[in-house]
Amino acid sequence: MRSKESKEKRIIDRFQLYVKTAGSGIFGRSGREKLLGTKRIYGGKGDEATKNTFWYRTRNKVRTALEDLRLFIESADKRNVNQVVTVETLEPVVHALLGLPITYEELPDRKRAEIAELFIKRGFEYLSAKSSNHVTLPHKRTIEEALDLSSYLVRSFRGEK
């Protein structure tokens, strides 16, 4: 398994330029530097309360940003949404969520397995709605089998805490 230090170095290498040049977003430059690990999260040595507060506030910012994204997607017209939410903008996020643990040789976990299953379910619903006239009985069975397989694979995680 790769070391934690090399993982942190790869993250710094990948995001250092972004942190320096990015405009406004849910995090300012200082927050991005703290997330990247190039700036201390807390002031004093061993100040766990400050560190916990940082992570609590960061989680709340991300939760709010996800709701803001949902609001944008539901409120803006299709043209505006399609300019921002694209394969190119989402692929790195999906990869970070579902691909990086595997890349870093970490075992998949139950919560992310459920998210992967959600993508599969919603993806087939979306594709089937537009193509319902073109989906043959064998295709429908294949979709049902794929959904059944994803459900089965997620159930293998259910015992985890």
Segments making up each domain of the chain, as ranges: 108-161
**Can you tell me the distance from the alpha carbon of 128 to that of 41, in angstroms, rounded to the nearest whole number?**
46
Contacts of residues 62-69 at CB distance under 8 Å and 24 or more positions apart, as own/partner, are: 62/26, 64/26, 65/26
pLDDT digits (tens, 9 = 90+) for 54-79: 999 999 999 999 999 999 999 999 99
Quickly count: other Cβ atoms within 10 Å of residue 155's Cβ: 12
pTM to 2 decimals? 0.79
pLDDT digits (tens, 9 = 90+) for 76-101: 999 999 999 999 999 999 999 998 87
